[in-house]
């Protein structure tokens, strides 16, 4: 097969690795994992000849030798991790170290009745049959090798259910801490988020690095937003400089449901954030806001697909980023409007600021429209800081670096303006300001 | 205050200023008048230090120092202020916080204590009332959605806040109706002082009815073609720039 590269991770060691995973004694789970691994082996890792991977070369990933990280994560001392935990939320926090749930670092306050929150590892070990349909579904991702690999090797993650009509005021925060150390750990967290009818919740997701070194995080997050429910989902990807982060977030939104996504990527050597959102009920809405900040030889890929499957659905998408030195970014934004999805409203914008002649953005908007009464638009720009604006600020006494920082912050300002949650806005501002101190 | 001698400037390799001389004493107000393309804005940008304006010959001394060695921000902190003909719109930069940053950059350089938010707001209120600028306007992004008049008033507000020693006003009158022009001129006049010099760059005599200059210079063909008192402006208004342009072309031809 032309799309398969050599050096498939774990290919010969899968049988040994899988026996150590939680719930392996449960027949449906064992079959699910084996089937998924066979699919992964068949699909292989995509090369740049695969259209959806055209601009992201996975060679660096295939060159590293990864170790399964389950035990490793349990053994990392708490002190090494506590320092890097993000401060923006405190009420409900689940911490995972190299993918493994760490009760000693987690802290979950009183949740309203009707909300259940537990680690996937515990649920799988129990043989939670109710999860089977969720783990098996996501047919749209069937040809995604990283989804298949995640299903084959998932060991832990978060299972969250917001019961019907329940509103959770305090954010629920999932923190994935990595500690590379000796050997390059790989982990495949699976998060299952269910927002039942008319519920409301705010989810934070952070990926931070405690120990440096090479590692690979391959998270899959499946989100279901039922009728009239609303979920805000804020993700901050701040992996270490040698890390690989390849993430898939798959979302289904039912009638009058609303999903607000924000993703800020500033970490990792090579990262891909894929979001698939299906507007599967009338008057459902989704908003995907994204920011990317890269320097050095970082590579950041944001690939999104929004499917308008039903009439009167609305999507808004804004991705903006700043690239310095030899950094590269990719934005692929696909909007599909199915035949029945009349009165669809879909808008997409991608803007990139290039601070160096060697930085590069590949941007590819894609509109596929099968309905005839729709309003869709897309736009993409890439450019440098404006000389006239820089001069204006300097002519008022700001030194060049302060002027550049002010203009970069201004460029990114509208990402934060629309974020409903104050803690998320503050978290964004702090990260942008931290990133800029190195300019 | 300012001594410009035999200044030659090229932009994109094209000579624009060709031997300009100008001497402005402390507290004096000089008007530079001239037709389009005579090099007025080039002079303004060279004084403020914009990239791309290459001085090939001549010198500029400011308070006895070589101005050309200084970056734009050093010039600004040392008291040079350029009121832009076209103030740049910068979405996402809040006007108030920009002004505070600028004021404190200048104060720090002068060895004065930086202003905190309260002190700055007090200073700002005082200055903006002078120019009839509402608080609402300053909550917007810098110059974004401002009318021509609002932009020019904000330039003068910046000048008032930064308290320069040499202010260069580049076509501050352009695009203003008569009421807006009066407001701006009053603002500028209020800033006249024995230790602040001004260079007014303008195409029209109209501005000089409101801001009366000590000296008037005609810029044509990249040089000062004639200097005189305020009455020279009135003469230009009547006779136009035609004679100067023809003469400049002649002398350029002779030089070639």
- Tell me the pLDDT tens digit for each residue of B62-101: 999 999 999 999 999 999 999 999 999 999 999 999 999 9
Q: How far apart are CA A343 and CA A227, in angstroms?
A: 19
pLDDT of B208 over the 80 cut: yes
Angle value at C-alpha A160, between A156 and A165, nearest 5 degrees: 175
Residue with tokens 């080039």: B42
Residue A81: strand, helix, or coil = helix
Q: How far apart are CA A154 and CA A162, in angstroms?
A: 22
Angle value at C-alpha A28, between A27 and A31, nearest 5 degrees: 85
> How distant, in Å, are the alpha carbons of B10, B170, B214 from that of B188?
31, 13, 15
CB within 8 Å of B101: residues ≥ 6 apart: A398, A402, A406
Q: How far apart are CA A94 and CA B16, in angstroms?
A: 67
Do A391 and B87 make contact, defined as CB atoms within 8 angstroms?
no
Search chain B and give the residue with CA nearest A400. Answer: B73
Residue A1: predicted pLDDT:
36
- The pTM of this model reads 0.91
Query: In chain B, which residues touch A (CB < 8 A)?
Result: 48-51, 71-73, 75-77, 81-82, 84, 87-88, 90-93, 98, 101-102, 105-106, 109, 141, 158, 162
Q: Element (H or E) spanning A187, and its range? A: strand A184-187
The domains of chain B, with CATH numbers, are 2-255 (3.40.50.300)
Residue A70: predicted pLDDT:
61
Task: List CB contacts (< 8 A) between B72 and chain A.
Answer: 391, 394-395
Task: List CB contacts (< 8 A) between B82 and chain A.
Answer: 395
Query: What are the tokens at A154?
Result: 């998932």
Specify the DSSP class assigned to residue A175.
E
Neighbours of A103 (CB within 10 A): 11
Query: What are the tokens at A188?
Result: 């495949």
Task: List CB contacts (< 8 A) between B109 and chain A.
Answer: 397
Q: How far apart are CA B136 and CA B138, in angstroms?
A: 5
Query: What are the tokens at A38?
Result: 């066979």
**A235, A419 in Cβ contact below 8 A?**
no
Helix axes B178-190, B148-162, angle to 10 degrees: 0
For residue A23, which phi and psi values (nearest 5 degrees)? 80, 10
Do A396 and B71 make contact, defined as CB atoms within 8 angstroms?
no
How confident is chain A (439 residues) per 10-residue block, as mean pLDDT?
Answer: 49 82 90 92 91 94 79 72 79 92 92 95 89 75 89 95 96 91 86 97 96 91 97 97 96 98 97 97 98 98 98 98 98 96 96 97 96 94 96 97 95 91 93 90
For residue B159, which phi and psi values (nearest 5 degrees)? -60, -45
> What pairs with residue A222 in β-bridges?
A192, A250
Do B98 and A407 make contact, defined as CB atoms within 8 angstroms?
no
Residue B71: predicted pLDDT:
97
| Bridging pattern class, strands A216-217 and A184-187 | parallel
Do A397 and B102 make contact, defined as CB atoms within 8 angstroms?
yes
Size of interface A-B (CB pairs under 8 A): 76
Task: List CB contacts (< 8 A) between A394 and chain B.
Answer: 49, 71-73, 76
Of B62, B88, B12, B77, the residue nearest B197 (C-alpha): B62
| Burial class of residue A41, CB neighbours in 10 A (0-12, 13-18, 19+) | middle
Do B72 and A394 make contact, defined as CB atoms within 8 angstroms?
yes
Q: How far apart are CA A41 and CA A8, in angstroms?
A: 8
pLDDT of B214 over the 50 cut: yes
Q: How far apart are CA B186 and CA B175, in angstroms?
A: 17
Of B6, B13, B11, the residue nearest B39 (C-alpha): B11
**B11, B54 in Cβ contact below 8 A?**
yes
Q: How far apart are CA A285 and CA A141, in angstroms?
A: 21
Q: How far apart are CA B163 and CA B135, in angstroms?
A: 21
**A149, A39 in Cβ contact below 8 A?**
no
Residue A90: predicted pLDDT:
75
Task: List CB contacts (< 8 A) between A412 and chain B.
Answer: 92
Backbone conformation region of residue A107, classed left if phi is above 0, alpha if psi is from -120 to 50, else beta: beta
Query: What are the tokens at A313?
Result: 């659905």
Q: Choose the mutation target among A387, A392, A412, A415 for the interface with B, i.e. most B CBs under 10 Å.
A: A392
- Tell me the pLDDT tens digit for each residue of B27-71: 999 999 998 888 999 999 999 999 999 999 999 999 999 999 999
Write down the ipTM of this complex.
Answer: 0.95
Find the DSSP H helices in A50-188. Answer: 59-63, 70-75, 78-82, 120-126, 132-136, 145-153
Residue A292: strand, helix, or coil = strand
Residue with tokens 């009818």: A197
Task: List CB contacts (< 8 A) between A387 and chain B.
Answer: 51
Task: List CB contacts (< 8 A) between B102 and chain A.
Answer: 393, 396-398
Do A395 and B158 make contact, defined as CB atoms within 8 angstroms?
no
């Amino acid at each position: 097969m032309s799309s398969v590269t050599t050096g498939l991770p774990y290919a010969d060691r899968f049988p040994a690795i899988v026996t150590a995973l939680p719930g392996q004694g449960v027949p449906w789970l064992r079959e699910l994992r084996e089937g998924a691994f066979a699919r992964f082996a068949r699909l292989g890792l995509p090369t740049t000849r695969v259209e959806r991977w055209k601009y992201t070369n996975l060679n660096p990933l295939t060159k590293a030798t990864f170790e399964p990280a389950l035990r490793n994560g349990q053994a990392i001392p708490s002190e090494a991790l506590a320092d890097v935990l993000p401060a923006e939320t405190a009420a409900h926090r689940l911490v995972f170290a190299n993918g493994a749930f760490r009760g000693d670092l987690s802290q979950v306050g009183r949740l309203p009745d009707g909300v259940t929150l537990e680690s996937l590892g515990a649920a799988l070990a129990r043989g939670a049959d109710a999860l089977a349909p969720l783990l098996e579904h996501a047919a749209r991702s069937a040809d995604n090798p990283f989804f298949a690999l995640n299903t084959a090797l998932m060991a832990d993650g978060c299972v969250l259910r917001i019961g019907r009509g329940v509103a959770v005021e305090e954010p629920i925060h999932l923190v994935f801490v990595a500690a590379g150390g000796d050997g390059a750990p790989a982990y495949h967290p699976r998060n299952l988020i269910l927002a039942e009818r008319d519920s409301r919740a705010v989810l934070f997701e952070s990926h931070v690095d405690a120990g440096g070194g090479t590692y690979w995080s391959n998270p899959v997050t499946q989100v279901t937003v039922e009728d009239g429910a609303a979920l805000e989902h804020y993700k901050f990807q701040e992996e270490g400089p040698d890390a690989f982060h390849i993430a898939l977030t798959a979302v289904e939104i039912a009638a009058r449901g609303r999903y607000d996504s924000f993703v800020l990527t500033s970490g990792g050597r090579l990262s891909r954030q894929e979001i698939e959102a299906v507007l599967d009920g009338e008057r459902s809405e989704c908003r995907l806001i994204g920011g990317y900040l890269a320097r050095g030889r970082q590579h950041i890929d944001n690939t999104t697909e929004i499917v308008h499957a039903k009439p009167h659905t609305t999507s808004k998408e804004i991705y903006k980023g700043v690239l310095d030195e030899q950094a590269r970014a990719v934005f692929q934004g696909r909007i599909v409007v199915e035949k029945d999805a009349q009165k669809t409203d879909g808008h997409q914008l991608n803007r990139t600021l290039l601070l160096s002649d060697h930085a590069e953005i590949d941007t590819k908007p894609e509109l596929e429209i099968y309905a005839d009464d729709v309003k869709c638009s897309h736009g993409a720009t890439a450019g440098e800081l404006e000389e006239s604006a820089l001069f204006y600020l300097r002519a008022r006494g700001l030194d060049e670096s302060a002027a550049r920082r002010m203009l970069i912050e201004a460029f990114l300002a509208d990402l934060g303006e629309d974020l409903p949650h104050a803690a998320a806005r503050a978290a964004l501002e702090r990260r942008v300001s931290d990133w800029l101190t190195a300019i | 205050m300012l001594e410009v001698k035999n200044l030659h400037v090229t932009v994109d390799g094209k000579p624009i200023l060709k031997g300009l001389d100008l001497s402005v004493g402390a507290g004096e107000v000089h008007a530079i008048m001239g037709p389009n393309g005579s090099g007025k804005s080039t002079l303004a940008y060279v004084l403020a230090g914009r990239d791309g304006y290459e001085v090939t010959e001549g010198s500029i001394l400011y308070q006895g120092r070589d101005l050309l060695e200084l970056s734009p921000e050093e010039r600004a902190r040392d008291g040079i202020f350029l009121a832009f003909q076209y103030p740049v719109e910068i979405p996402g930069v809040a006007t108030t916080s920009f002004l505070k940053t600028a004021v404190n950059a200048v104060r720090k350089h002068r060895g004065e204590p930086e202003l905190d938010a309260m002190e700055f707001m007090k200073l700002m209120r005082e200055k903006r009332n002078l120019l009839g600028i509402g608080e609402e306007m300053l909550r917007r992004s810098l110059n974004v959605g401002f009318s021509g008049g609002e932009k020019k008033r904000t330039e003068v507000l910046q000048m008032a806040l930064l308290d320069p020693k040499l202010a260069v006003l580049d076509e501050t009158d352009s695009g203003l109706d008569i009421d807006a022009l009066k407001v701006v001129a009053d603002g500028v006049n209020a800033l006249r002082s024995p230790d602040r010099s001004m260079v007014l760059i303008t195409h029209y005599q109209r501005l000089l009815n409101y801001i009366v200059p000590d000296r008037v210079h005609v810029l044509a063909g990249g040089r000062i073609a004639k200097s005189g008192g305020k009455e020279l402006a009135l003469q230009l208004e009547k006779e136009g720039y035609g004679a100067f342009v023809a003469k400049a072309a002649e002398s350029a031809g002779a030089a070639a």
